[in-house]
Amino acid sequence: MGSKSASDTATVAESTESDLAQQYPTPAPEPTVSFAALKDRIRHHYELASDYYYSLWGEHIHHGYFLDPNDTKEIAQTRLIDLLLDRSGLEKGSAVLDVGCGIGGTSRYLARNHNCHVTGITISGKQVEMATRFSSEQQINPKTTTTGHPIKLNRGSVRFLELDAETMGTYFSAQDTFNCVWISEAMSHLPDKALFFANAFKVLRPGGKLAIADWFKAEDLTDEQLEADIRPIEDGMLLPPLSTQSHYVHLAHQAGFETISPPFDISSNVAKTWDISWSLIQNPSLWAFALSQGRDGIAFLQAFRAMRRGYANGSFRYAVMVFGRA
């Protein structure tokens, strides 16, 4: 990016190319008929857009944790994983369930760098296919791998399954319990968060850990703040109503967890993700593709601006936290 910061670049991109975004006005929020319908929209979104996610963000489809002006998004993204590893104290070689694994970037990182044996789950069959293919290609001796079977990476391994997180409590048997449930920017998509915490508790071994990185709304927002900053994010990112950090803590304790690492708010360190992302989507072909996918496609891209605005106003937050099963 030369001598300019990512924030400067994004500001220039928005000021010089905002006509592109203005050609496609932000659609009015679309009420969700049911949570089942919302999940269908989420699944459809990832089936269509995962290749674009990969082209924009690379294998790690999550925020970056920026500590230095010269950080690339790739460095910042892996630093976010390292932050959660540090705060969780996850032991090397652990059995990990990566919920909402996307195309498997975090799963592979945990396997290669922390010798973990990771099962990644996502509701998108397209993402399972991509995650399996990328993982197979990264083996020392690449070979064709059957979906759902472990792929060895360094001293760890990964496998990927198409599975709704709401069913994980019944899908995994007592023999398949884990040392850690890892969920990064996926719980905000889940309609029944209390069910997720209960299921996470069920699939963890005694002493197991629940490591969370996620998006939140700030506490005690006014109706005006919710309407201006939060609703466009929920609509564009296909989210049920966002929770606060304290609500996650309440749900965790309700499910039987104890707090290992309380919410650590890193909003100011991750906001740059959306400055970079806004500059990356200034591409007419991307907006044309979004338009071809209907109102959800345009709402998704326009939500990038809403994310930037929410971080700037302090109404949209980001935090990591860790809970444990006694």
Q: Of all residues in the chain, what percent carry a pLDDT higher than 70?
A: 83
The DSSP secondary-structure symbol of 166 reads G
Closest C-alpha among 207, 210, 186, 188 to residue 198: 210
Q: Are strands 151-153 and 156-162 parallel, antiparallel or unpaired?
A: antiparallel
pLDDT at 250: 98
| DSSP character string of 211-260 | EEEEEEEPTT--HHHIIIIIHHHHHHTT-SSPPPHHHHHHHHHHTT-EEE
Tell me the pLDDT tens digit for each residue of 192-241: 999 999 999 999 999 999 999 999 999 999 999 999 999 999 988 889 99
C-alpha to C-alpha distance for 326 and 318, rounded to whole angstroms: 27
What lies within 8 Å, CB to CB, of 111 at 6+ separation is 117, 118, 153, 154, 156, 157, 158
Tell me the pLDDT tens digit for each residue of 84-126: 999 999 999 999 999 999 999 999 999 999 999 999 999 999 8
CATH T-level fold of 6-324: Rossmann fold (3.40.50)
CB 238 within 8 A of CB 49: no
C-alpha to C-alpha distance for 269 and 101, rounded to whole angstroms: 23
Closest C-alpha among 199, 116, 202, 124 to residue 159: 116
Closest C-alpha among 138, 139, 200 to residue 169: 200
pTM of the model as a whole: 0.86
Per-residue tokens: 206: 């005694």
